Amino acid sequence: MDAVVIGGGVIGLAVAWRAARAGLNVAVVDPEPGSGASNFAAGMIAPVGEAEFGEEAVISLNRDSAARYPSFVAELELDAGRSAGYRQTGTLHVAVDADEQSALERHYRFRQELGLPVERLSSRQTRDLEPGLSPSIRGGMLVDSDHQVDPRAMIPTLLQACSRLGVQIHRSRASLLVEAGRATGVALDGGQRIEAASVVLAAGPWSGAVPGVPSDDTPPVRPVKGQILRLRGSPEMIARTIRGGSVYILPRGDGRVVIGGTVEERGFDTSVTAGAVYELLREARALVPDVAELELVEASAGLRPGSPDNMPMVGDSTTPGLIIATGHHRNGYLLAPATADAVAAVLAGGTWPEATRPWSPSRFRRPAGVGA
């Protein structure tokens, strides 16, 4: 086997598919592929809308990955023979009061200074674009280049593409095998061994707990809880993703609507809380009043993999043959193309692209001789 990927979320499956497309023999090991954060995520591809002050390098990396999406999805759908749920719908950021209007103006000017594609809108222009918005909306910022993908379509499509290209899917937990200081494959629950030239650790928030990984290479990843609601109703309610306050409302175009965005440091807790459901619905209703008329289909919680600086950890470990690919936090779907392309290139014998070098796990390693 050329490579074994530990973890069957969007990152692990994308890496496996890209590597198989490059002609490599690949296996994925995961007890329930696609059942973690990749299943519960909203799937926003929003490098411009989520740009943060002081993170210009991150913004560039995020935009690079987003730019890969059209060809990434086209090739994926060709290999799988089914849709990945990618929609170029745009995002409308809105303000409901004077404080939010001031904050929105700061965000707009910041993006303008960076040359990012944004458009400032008056209250009337905002509501003309989306008549379903509350009459109290003070103004908006349109980001046409921010898109979305439906995780409930993307994961089955990745699994099908992997299957068609001969990727082995082992529904089991994995332990890393290290012999003579080198990663040589994995051991499965039943004792089966899979020998491989390379192992990719892409187990999301569980990446730090995979047995057999040397302590120096255990990624400092933590679970970051996110609660999310799925509703169903009128396809005409909104056409774009709406963001305001601390909530987003994302339409799938067929009547399905996703409301999210809690960010909670609660360890591995995946319970759905009444308070979070209440706050998400209250804030969403303040933006789009007709949300209250929709059918609540699902309330769920997922665990994103966060790193100490909330940037991905993608690169070589200190153990030859072991590659780390985790810590994507809220941007797993956004960064899947760039991550998969980079890791697959290295697995095929290439070098790490310059663009992904800031993601190297080496930034968290202690210098030699420094104690804990």
Per residue in 331-341, pLDDT (tens digit) is: 999 999 999 99
Q: What does the pLDDT read at residue 369?
A: 46
Residue 328, pLDDT > 60, answer yes
C-alpha 349 chain-centroid distance: 26
Confidence of residue 8 (pLDDT cuts 50, 70, 90): very high
Residue 368, pLDDT > 70, answer no
Average predicted confidence (pLDDT) for the chain: 94
Alpha-carbon span 250 to 239, nearest angstrom: 9
SS3 of residue 248 by DSSP: strand
Tokens of 198: 């390379």
Confidence of residue 366 (pLDDT cuts 50, 70, 90): low
pTM (2 d.p.): 0.94
Q: What does the pLDDT read at residue 367?
A: 59
Kindly report, residue by residue over 108-140, the tens digit of the pLDDT: 999 999 999 999 999 999 999 999 999 999 999
> Which residue in 177, 154, 259, 215 sits closest to 364, CA to CA?
215
SS3 of residue 31 by DSSP: coil
Mean pLDDT of 94-100: 94
Mean pLDDT of 211-215: 96
Q: Do 222 and 198 contact (CB within 8 A), yes or no?
A: no
Residue 21, pLDDT > 50, answer yes
